[in-house]
Structure 1
Amino acid sequence: MSNKKKILIRIGSLRHGGAEKVLVTFLKNLPKDKYEIDLLLNLYSGKYLGEVPSWINVFYLNKGEMITTNRLQDFPIKAFRVIYQRVLKTFPKLLYQFILKGKKYDIEFAAIHGFRDEILNSPQRSSKKLIWIHNDLKKTEFHKYTDDEFRKFFGFDKSIVISDKIHQDFEDLAQNEEEKQKIARIYNPLDTEEILRKSEVEGQKLEDEVPLFISVGTVFPQKGFDRLLRVHKRLLDEGFKHKVLILGDGYDFENIKKLQKDLGVSETSNLFGFIDNPYPDFKKADFYILSSRYEGFPTVLFEAITLKKKIIATDVSGVREMLEDGKLGLIVENSEEGIYEGMKRALQDPASFEQYENQLMEYKMPFNLVNSVNSIIKIIDDL
């Protein structure tokens, strides 16, 4: 009889998002003989599937690619997926009996905040409940949490949060010391050595006759790529020659592609979609720009810091913490005007960014991969 802790982890898919990447990085760095892990996906899909260690059991509710279009022929399969998932969410005993084969778990772990209710409503009442919160819940795109909704997260035995801002939000709502102790602030596991290694290979053929701004992320409205393209057009109209490169895919990709065409900036901006290794392009670009409307703790900034990029970032959750209040990069107002001012400064006065480059040369990451993984392992072991 195995005495390994049995853990169920839930996430939607393993598409190319920050939380998905962080989860896979964590799984790859776990000791393989210590736990018995089942990973349950709503959709067996995504670029990171191939990176899940072979000793982890992967279960899924649906299989196939994520459908991001509204084509008529896709409607039946989209409707089936939604109804099927809703039935299993409403009657979780069916899920545990038929998909998970009646297995009993010591820990049930929501890898993103969207699986809060699925884990809290698990029929396995004796399991310890754990959640990993990557977003600023007060500003999420689909669901702005009221205080009452927010407080439901205290139903977990432990919540891992990734920034001081999110930690403070929880502390403000905690009603006693016991609730405060349920919140753990841990940096996301990030493999900086892998980033540096991958940045050395050949990337896209990028011309370098004009300044290049790069932005990387899942193409959701949250990421503000629409704002970035409108600012790009405005600066071009004012005579500032430059190019913009956006790497990523997501349900808003076609809308951003259409906006690019409508603005007439297809020659000066590129949307390459998802790229397995964006780091060579990161390295070649002159500036990294974060145009997000909101974040939890944008791990992509630590990737830009690792590659010593000149950074412009909107003032969203996590940014002041990561850029040390503007010591390591330019923090701009969270608006289209803020992005415009930041990019204009980069084009008009590039020498002003040398101060950030000098600071980055001396900078040491406030965490390392091993510490982050070990901190989460300790939580799991203590539950």
Structure 2
Amino acid sequence: MKKMLISSFDMEVGGVERSLLSMLGHFDYEAYEVDLHLHSHTGDLFADLPSKAKLLPELKAYKTFRKSIVQNIKDKQFPIVLARLLAKYRVAYCKSAESGYKQMQYMWRYTLPFLPALKQEYDVAISYLWPHDFVAEKVQAKIKIAWIHTDFSTIETDKVLDLKVWKQFNHIVAVSEECKQAFLRKYPSLADKTTVVENIRSPKLIENQANEPLESRMAKDNRFKIVTVARLSHAKGIDRAVQAFKYLKAKGHSNIAWYVVGYGGDEEMLQSLIQENNLENDFLLVGKKMNPYPYIKAADLYVQPSRYEGKAVTICEAQILAKPVLITNYPTAVSQVKSYEDGVICEASIEGIASGIEEMLHNSGLRSQLTSKCKSINYHNEKELEKLYELMN
């Protein structure tokens, strides 16, 4: 039996964490003895971890990444505080909306000397969430595999620093072909070690959870209901959704409501934007939900207004629940939807989102067509794990 490690950050509610749960739920535990390392033993999905994967003890130094600098000062983690301040200073003049990626890189690089290594040696070590410095530098393994969940062509990273980490892995796994190609446009030298393994899906589990009770406000809402499940961040484009919704209301579409399930750093900004446009009763941030599927099931339309994605888990989940889906034309969109077959891809702008929704509102035949197509598709893809087993052997 091979000894393997899977490493990730925590189990907060998110697409990456749900895909990790699905992978762990379908793993071949007869062939692999699996250790799971989480930097922080936190998150609403933590209780859903399968018992067959052995959870390693939490290491105090790695938990610091989820704590504020002030809290780390109180905990007397002074070297780590200094490293984080240095990372913050280095990106202080960066004007990118996603400069947080670079800051995270520098934070890991400067903090590494103060972080403990794992003593156990493994046959295989998987780093499931970027940055991959922990598995690259602090884990001994014969084979190392790093996962890509995002579109690297759209985010700002330190390429030199990134390459130093990527080169320490035997294989790099992207969650879609488009995600892989976007990555290779940035790092063409890594083509020989980059491959695709799609997120593992559990349609029956999603369908069962979708049948759980829905909170009363949405259950009693008789309007045309749009639903989005996403982190409240720049990447997910919820700010554009608010503006598109304002445009639709101004055109006289009064009998619609938009429910956004999720949480994140942009919540305060989005609430202000909603209030400024007098949409408090129509564009609703319902917060973090352990089970978002009843919301998706109750939707008349699922919309993903993202600026970029790797391969959004939530889009496929909406398709599993046979919902008409509208997504923006971000660079990897064609890996998720065949436009006018199992969903619609609209222009990636406020006007494009509004126009796409308007088309869906007026064309019930199109919505029915998309629903029928999704019902005819078999979304089981457990065989994707065979690709991973091949890499590990």
TM-score range, shorter chain: 0.7 to 0.9
2:382 corresponds to which residue?
A: 370
Tell me, what secondary structure is at the counterpart of 1:129?
strand
CA distance in 2: counterparts of 1:362 and 1:245, whole angstroms: 27
2:196 corresponds to which residue?
A: 185
Aligned counterparts, 1:247-286, within 5 A: 247-286=261-300
Aligned counterparts, 1:317-332, within 5 A: 317-332=331-346
Select 2:238's aligned residue among 225, 238, 242.
225
1:134 paired with 2:149, answer: yes
CA distance in 2: counterparts of 1:82 and 1:31, whole angstroms: 42
Select 1:120's aligned residue among 124, 136, 155.
136
Q: CA deviation at 1:65?
A: 11
Conserved 8 A contact 1:39-1:59? no
Aligned counterparts, 1:305-324, within 5 A: 305-324=319-338
Select 2:55's aligned residue among 54, 57, 60.
57
Aligned counterparts, 1:57-206, within 5 A: 57-62=55-60, 76-77=70-71, 84=80, 90=110, 92=112, 95-97=115-117, 100=118, 102-115=119-132, 117-122=133-138, 124=140, 127-140=142-155, 143-144=156-157, 146=159, 149=162, 153-170=166-183, 173-175=187-189, 180-205=191-216, 206=218
Q: Which amino acid aligns with 2:179?
A: I
Moved more, 276-285 or 6-15: 6-15
Q: Between the two proteins, what is the percent identity of the paired residues?
A: 22
Conserved 8 A contact 1:246-1:272? yes
Tell me, what secondary structure is at the counterpart of 1:106?
strand
Q: Which amino acid aligns with 1:57?
A: L
Seen in structure 2, the aligned counterparts of structure 1 residues 189 and 349 have a Cα distance that, compared at 3 Å, is: same
Let me know the Cα RMSD of the aligned residues.
Answer: 2.9
Gaps of 5+ in 1: 68-73
Seen in structure 2, the aligned counterparts of structure 1 residues 83 and 292 have a Cα distance that, compared at 3 Å, is: farther
Conserved 8 A contact 2:121-2:139? no
CA distance in 1: counterparts of 2:378 and 2:65, whole angstroms: 39
Q: CA deviation at 1:344?
A: 2.0
CA distance in 2: counterparts of 1:200 and 1:82, whole angstroms: 49
Seen in structure 2, the aligned counterparts of structure 1 residues 309 and 151 have a Cα distance that, compared at 3 Å, is: farther
Q: Which amino acid aligns with 1:375?
A: K
CA distance in 2: counterparts of 1:93 and 1:104, whole angstroms: 20
Conserved 8 A contact 2:229-2:260? yes
TM-score of the superposed pair, with normalisation by structure 2? 0.82
Seen in structure 2, the aligned counterparts of structure 1 residues 83 and 276 have a Cα distance that, compared at 3 Å, is: farther
Conserved 8 A contact 1:134-1:297? yes
CA distance in 1: counterparts of 2:355 and 2:278, whole angstroms: 21
- Kindly tell me the number of residue pairs found equivalent between the two proteins: 360
CA distance in 2: counterparts of 1:348 and 1:118, whole angstroms: 51
CA distance in 2: counterparts of 1:17 and 1:89, whole angstroms: 25
CA distance in 2: counterparts of 1:331 and 1:135, whole angstroms: 19
1:213 corresponds to which residue?
A: 226
Q: Which amino acid aligns with 2:2?
A: K
TM-score of the superposed pair, with normalisation by structure 1? 0.84
2:258 corresponds to which residue?
A: 244
1:70 corresponds to which residue?
A: none
Conserved 8 A contact 2:171-2:194? yes
Tell me, what secondary structure is at the counterpart of 2:131?
helix
Tell me, what secondary structure is at the counterpart of 2:35?
strand
Moved more, 210-219 or 56-65: 56-65
Conserved 8 A contact 1:138-1:145? no
Tell me, what secondary structure is at the counterpart of 1:213?
strand
CA distance in 1: counterparts of 2:163 and 2:18, whole angstroms: 25
Q: CA deviation at 1:33?
A: 4.3
CA distance in 2: counterparts of 1:194 and 1:12, whole angstroms: 24
CA distance in 2: counterparts of 1:48 and 1:151, whole angstroms: 32
Q: Which amino acid aligns with 1:214?
A: V
Conserved 8 A contact 1:170-1:180? no
Q: Deviations over 1:170-201 (max 9, x none)?
A: 555545xxx54422211100111101111122
Select 1:18's aligned residue among 15, 18, 37.
15
CA distance in 1: counterparts of 2:326 and 2:160, whole angstroms: 32
Conserved 8 A contact 1:244-1:268? yes
Tell me, what secondary structure is at the counterpart of 2:3?
strand
